[in-house]
Amino acid sequence: MHDVPRSRRVNGDGAGRRGCAAMVIAAACCPLAAGPAAAENWVGIAGSNLSRSLAVDADSVRPVEQYPDRLGMWIRYTYAMSIDCSPPRGCLAASQRVYALVNCPAQAIAYVQRISMDLNGNVVGRSEANLNAAQYVVYAGSAEAELWRMVCPGYPDRFERP
């Protein structure tokens, strides 16, 4: 997995998420396997910078069953320059779609699956869905912090400084 933001790991076991994450991933990944969804509603996130921008597909934001404080969603990172996305060898991506689970009370994000795309939107790399993905704390001043504020309204902001 590439371009993981600077953050502090919250946990790595993910045992409590396995059942619900499997349902979320099954529902979310199947449409992408056939091709991009026809009705995407990408909303740009403030706090993005010149090296990358971040957007969330507002139509994909859904509560995770059995965990009312966690939301599953597709987010898109777009880069100013292509990044390495191997395997496969020599893979360069201009953007990545990432299925993420956002834990609102913990202010943390777990990146479950990444799909790397070239400048034309063709899939050039796809990671396996990792139901045990570690959660990372969202830091103040990051685009991910702005994403958290947008999808988790009403939760107190306790962001840490990097």
Q: Read off the CATH number of the domain in which 124 is found.
A: 2.40.128.710
Whether 158 maps to a domain, the answer reads no
Whether 160 maps to a domain, the answer reads no
pLDDT tens figures, 40-79: 788 888 766 656 789 999 999 999 887 778 999 999 988 8
Whether 162 maps to a domain, the answer reads no
Whether 157 maps to a domain, the answer reads no
| 3 state SS of 140 | coil
Whether 50 maps to a domain, the answer reads yes
Domain count, the chain: 1
Whether 161 maps to a domain, the answer reads no
Residue with tokens 């449409």: 31
Domain that holds residue 48: 9-151
Q: Distance between CA 44 and CA 161 in Å, rounded?
A: 23
122 or 28: which carries more pLDDT confidence?
A: 122
Radius of gyration of the chain (CA): 15
Q: How much of the chain exceeds pLDDT 90, in percent?
A: 23
Is the pLDDT at 32 greater than 70, yes or no?
no
The widest CA-to-CA distance across the chain, in whole angstroms, is 44
Least confident of 13-27, 47-61, 66-80, 97-111: 13-27
Which pLDDT does position 162 carry in this prediction?
62
Whether 52 maps to a domain, the answer reads yes
Phi, psi of 146 (to 5 degrees): -65, -40
Give the pLDDT band (50/70/90) at residue 29.
very low
CB-neighbour burial class of residue 105 (10 A; exposed 0-12, middle 13-18, buried 19+): exposed
What integer best gives the mean pLDDT of the chain? 74
Least confident of 9-13, 99-103, 116-120: 9-13
Residue with tokens 């371009």: 3
Taking Cα atoms as reference points, which of 148, 105, 140, 155 lies closest to residue 8? 140
Least confident of 3-17, 42-56, 136-150: 3-17
Whether 101 maps to a domain, the answer reads yes
Which pLDDT does position 5 carry in this prediction?
42
Which pLDDT does position 82 carry in this prediction?
76
If one counts every other C-beta atom within 10 angstroms of the C-beta of residue 9, the result is: 11
pTM of the model: 0.69
Residues contacting 27, CB < 8 A, separation 6+: none
